[in-house]
Amino acid sequence: MSEAKKEVGSELHTLFVENVAEQKVLVDKERNLYQIIPKHKIYRVYIGKFFETKKGLHAVFNQLREAKEHDYLELYINSGGGLILEGQQFYNIIQERFYGRVRTFLDNFGYSMGALLFCMGNERIIYPYSDFMFHNYSGGVFGKGGEIKAKVIHADKKIKQFFKEIILKQGFLSKKEFKQMLLGKDFWMDAKELCKRGIATHVICEGKKITAKEYLEYLKKQKKKKA
Residue whose C-alpha is closest to residue 58's, from 82, 107, 93: 93
CA distance 76 to 20: 19
At 65-116, the pLDDT tens digits run: 999 999 999 999 999 999 999 999 999 999 999 999 999 999 999 999 999 9
Q: Domain tally for the chain? A: 2
49 & 115 share domain: yes
Q: What is the pLDDT of residue 1?
A: 45
Range scoring the smallest mean pLDDT among 24-33, 36-45, 171-180, 218-227? 24-33
165 & 200 share domain: no
Q: What is the pLDDT of residue 7?
A: 76
Cα torsion 162, 175, 178, 113: sign = negative
Quick one: average pLDDT of 140-166?
87
Q: Which domain holds residue 23?
A: 2-135+186-226
CA distance 200 to 118: 9
Q: What is the pLDDT of residue 134?
A: 98
178 in a structural domain: no
Q: What is the pLDDT of residue 29?
A: 82
Range scoring the smallest mean pLDDT among 93-97, 98-102, 118-122, 147-151? 147-151
Rounded-to-10 torsion of CA 193, 101, 59, 135: -20
151 & 209 share domain: no
- 10 Å CB burial of residue 160 (0-12, 13-18, 19+) is middle
User: Which residue did the predictor score with more confidence, 99 or 141?
Assistant: 99
155 & 56 share domain: no
85 & 107 share domain: yes
75 & 168 share domain: no
50 in a structural domain: yes
219 in a structural domain: yes
Quick one: average pLDDT of 141-166?
88
Residue whose C-alpha is closest to residue 129's, from 58, 200, 217: 200
180 in a structural domain: no
151 & 127 share domain: no
83 & 158 share domain: no
Tell me the three state secondary structure of residue 18: strand
Single pTM value for the model: 0.91
**Looking at the predicted structure, is the pLDDT value of residue 214 above 90?**
yes
190 & 92 share domain: yes
119 in a structural domain: yes
Quick one: average pLDDT of 47-76?
92
117 & 190 share domain: yes
Find out whether 75 and 103 touch, Cβ atoms under 8 Å. Answer: yes
67 & 144 share domain: no
CA distance 76 to 126: 10
At 15-34, the pLDDT tens digits run: 999 999 998 887 888 888 88
**Which CATH number fits the domain that encloses residue 61?**
3.90.226.10
149 in a structural domain: yes
64 in a structural domain: yes
Q: What is the pLDDT of residue 225?
A: 86
Quote the strand ranges of 80-185, DSSP E: 102-111, 123-126, 131-134
Q: What is the pLDDT of residue 6?
A: 64
155 & 108 share domain: no
**Looking at the predicted structure, is the pLDDT value of residue 2 above 70?**
no
Core vs surface per residue 172-210: b (16+ CB within 10 A) or e:
bbeeeebeebbeeeebebebeebbebebbbbbbbeeeee
